[in-house]
Chain A
Amino acid sequence: MAQTVFAPWTEADQKPLIEFRNVTKRFGEFTAIDDLSLKIYEKEFFALLGPSGCGKTTMMRMLAGFETVTEGNILLAEQDINDVPPNKRPVNMMFQSYALFPHLSIWENIAFGLRREGRDKAFIDTRVEEMLRLTRLTRFAKRKPHQISGGQRQRVALARSLAKAPKLLLLDEPLGALDRKLREETQFELMDIQEKTGTTFVIVTHDQEEAMTVASRIAVMDEGRLVQVDTPGQIYEAPNSVYVADFIGDVNLFPGKARARPEDTQIAAAAPDQPVSDQPVPDQAAADQTATAPMAEPAPSPTATPPEGPTVARLPAPDAKGDWLYDKIFRRFLGDRTTAPRRLPPPNAEELAAPKPEPAATAQPAEPAIKPGGIFIDWAEGQPPIIAAGGDPAMDGREVTYSIRPEKVTIDTVRPDRPNVYEGKVIDIAYLGNISTYHVELAGGRMVKAQMVNARRLANRPITWEDTVWVGFTETAGVVLEE
């Protein structure tokens, strides 16, 4: 995977392209950036992520030169650029409002920076053509900005800021003005262009999905400080604080008290054959995710119910005569018959009336033995403690928060055999089409979110409102956080 190959931040001898050295920025009494140090490497797609007012835009404007640094230094390719004015920095910016010059055509907009450099006409012509081609705007070169759509304007802004081939491109909420569908397309386009040009991109965004999609590394900011700087995977699976866990994606948080767990538990002893994984927590958690995925919605296993159900029997398939007919006549003009999957017909009345397939215990794959060690978390009176194998036993006796993503929590109508299982009642179901999020209220009132992939169609789903269900998760699925 390219992601694992490209990781200059792990190599000690790599020289950063950008370095913030103890940078502080104050606006009067207000401290926007507080003693912040950060290194950004060449060819990175670096995202500054945070809620509005966290200082991410100030960081970007300091890089562009529109804001001065109150204390500390910003280095670009090991040169202090504190006193370099914006028009002398090898840095270009794509503005949130795009800031296209309304009195100039698309072509002139893109050529603007090159003309200021005093380049000769032939060079400008080729470069602008190249940029127009890169952003698929050649047809619109003669138009004015108000004559093209929002998505096209966004691409003009990108082409204009890339035209001078800057060492560093700053993108200020570049996709904020686009609708969802176009935004997703443009994210991939941005990554593609970033790869093609090899430019270092720094993107400012408050949209965590956008940051996760495009960035090689994300810096999560809060109140002028960096909370965590890491790859999207690490940020999501191994957040270093409740703030990050809560800010990125959806999460269940269980505040509680840690209690050291014996290294050699009875359960672990019961299945000594099971190899104990010593992988770090996030990878284990990721593995768990894939392991639990098929369980997300228990399918009737072949041993429990023979495949007489609607799926296979109702698939239209030719018999011997049909095959013969096809071979003799239709093959000539239609070619070989493909056995492509066909669309499922809607369930008929009979199928709807049929008893729902029981998500029986047979659906459960053999549960591996619970990994020993880690901690228990006592999070509520009268509830069994959460087993967190990834917890540090040294946390014993301290206040901690157990954080687990909804997609790692399973939901069943019968008690599953999992390390952490709690009974509750379905209060709400958020149906998003591809997935559903179930809000389950546990005894004692705590709400837990569990997510399931909707692998099957609506009529066959066994869980509805007010049902008594069991939520469960493995001992390694969550992260123990200390605040």
Chain B
Amino acid sequence: MRRAILIAIPYLWLTALFLVPFLIVLKISLSDIALARPPYTPQFDFSAGLEGLGAFFSELDFENFVFLTTDDLYWKSYLSSVQIAGLSTLITLAVGYPVAYAMARADEAWRPTLLMLVILPFWTSFLIRVYSWMGILASEGPLNAVLLALGIIDQPLQIMNTNVAVYIGIVYTYLPFMILPIYSALEKLDGSLLEAAEDLGCSRLSAFWLVTWPLSRPGIIAGCFLVFIPALGEFVIPSLLGGSDTLMIGKVLWEEFFNNRDWPVASAVAVILLAILIIPIVLFQRNEQKAREAEG
């Protein structure tokens, strides 16, 4: 009985805060746009009883989903989002792994400090940090000023309002999510495993590829998903740092919702985004499960 209550609490939580809102969004995605408040129809009428329920369901259709296939803006946005999220995940990995490795190899006394430095950016608002990147990357910003002063370039680089700025923004923002799981995997690594590998004939480099890399793989996979999943639906970074040609589905969703006030189409976009995300989320869960089994 007590067990049942204990399990019921998280399930109620998930039902109230995930399942119910999702069902509402799903319902809106099946509705039609209307000049009303809220701006869609049909509305559920409690007073109409069973008959009203039948009429309510008969008015729902997949019109909005069909609409998404007619305009190539949508699938191009999805594709471009996957591409931007995927590439920035790889860049984050390339930047984050050495950082995590160095942290795990650092003197034990230093590790808490290094860990805190990784988390430190979270102490300021995400929005402020993205805005400050706008300043840094601007044509007359400090980055261009330094590059010009060093004589590396003779014309200011146009980074703001391009995809490059979006990549920089995403890699910067999500770097801690990559570093932390990799660090925790590397920190657990028993140093004598590397000595054993060397003892059995490995060079330092092959010991890394044969022992360190495979043993940090659960951390790498976790980090990649933690970056890829939120980056795919990212909206703030592309709208603040990206240009007019930066296509990301999060931005499209925002425009449908607030600029066009087309809640049904925006909801359909959101439902499909969720469907796309379910694949990596399930893979992520499976990875976590495997890692747990390997430990136990």
Known contacts being A87-B198, A102-B294, A113-B200, is A97 close to B215, with CB within 8 Å? no
Contact of A160 with B200 in the complex, beta carbons under 8 Å: yes
Looking at the assembled complex, report how far the CB atom of B221 sits from the nearest CB atom of chain A, in whole angstroms: 14
**Residues of chain B within 8 A of A99, CB atoms compared:** 190, 192-193, 195-196
Known contacts being A93-B196, A99-B196, A102-B294, is A87 close to B214, with CB within 8 Å? no
Contact for B203 among A87, A92, A95, CB less than 8 A: A87
Interface bits A214-229 vs B (CB < 8 Å: 1, else 0): 0000000000000000
- List which B212-241 residues lie within 8 A (CB) of chain A: 214-215
**Residues of chain A within 8 A of B200, CB atoms compared:** 87, 92, 112-113, 116, 160-161, 164
Looking at the assembled complex, report how far the CB atom of B195 sits from the nearest CB atom of chain A, in whole angstroms: 6
Main secondary structure of the interface of B (DSSP, over half): helix
Contact of B195 with A164 in the complex, beta carbons under 8 Å: no
Contact of B196 with A95 in the complex, beta carbons under 8 Å: yes
Contact of B190 with A97 in the complex, beta carbons under 8 Å: yes
Contact of A103 with B215 in the complex, beta carbons under 8 Å: yes
Tell me whether B113 is interfacial, beta carbon within 8 Å.
Answer: no
Instruction: Give Cα distance in the complex from A92 to B196, angstroms.
Output: 9
Tell me whether B118 is interfacial, beta carbon within 8 Å.
Answer: no
Contact for B202 among A96, A103, A116, A146, CB less than 8 A: A116
Interface size in chain A (residues, C-beta < 8 A): 24
Tell me whether B199 is interfacial, beta carbon within 8 Å.
Answer: yes
Contact of B294 with A64 in the complex, beta carbons under 8 Å: no
**Residues of chain B within 8 A of A379, CB atoms compared:** none
Instruction: Give Cα distance in the complex from A117 to B206, angstroms.
Output: 12
Contact of B203 with A97 in the complex, beta carbons under 8 Å: no
Contact of A64 with B193 in the complex, beta carbons under 8 Å: no
Looking at the assembled complex, report how far the CB atom of B215 sits from the nearest CB atom of chain A, in whole angstroms: 6
Interface bits B31-68 vs A (CB < 8 Å: 1, else 0): 00000000000000000000000000000000000000
Known contacts being A86-B198, A160-B200, is A95 close to B215, with CB within 8 Å? no
Known contacts being A112-B197, A116-B202, is A95 close to B294, with CB within 8 Å? no
Tell me whether B211 is interfacial, beta carbon within 8 Å.
Answer: yes
Tell me whether B151 is interfacial, beta carbon within 8 Å.
Answer: no
Instruction: Give Cα distance in the complex from A195 to B14, angstroms.
Output: 65
Looking at the assembled complex, report how far the CB atom of B220 sits from the nearest CB atom of chain A, in whole angstroms: 13
Instruction: Give Cα distance in the complex from A65 to B198, angstroms.
Output: 10
Contact of B206 with A64 in the complex, beta carbons under 8 Å: no
Tell me whether B10 is interfacial, beta carbon within 8 Å.
Answer: no
Which residue of B193, B195, B196, B198 has the most chain A CB atoms within 10 A of its CB atom? Answer: B196
Instruction: Give Cα distance in the complex from A92 to B195, angstroms.
Output: 11
Contact of A87 with B211 in the complex, beta carbons under 8 Å: no
- List which A122-146 residues lie within 8 A (CB) of chain B: 144, 146
**Residues of chain B within 8 A of A64, CB atoms compared:** 195, 199
Known contacts being A101-B211, A102-B215, is A164 close to B192, with CB within 8 Å? no
Tell me whether B112 is interfacial, beta carbon within 8 Å.
Answer: no
The 10 closest A-B pairs by CB, nearest first: A116-B201, A113-B200, A99-B196, A99-B192, A86-B198, A103-B214, A95-B192, A87-B201, A93-B199, A87-B198
Binding site for A on B (CB under 8 A): 190, 192-193, 195-203, 206, 210-211, 214-215, 294-296
8 CB < 8 A contacts A-B? A66-B198, A93-B195, A95-B195, A97-B192, A102-B294, A146-B294, A146-B295, A161-B200
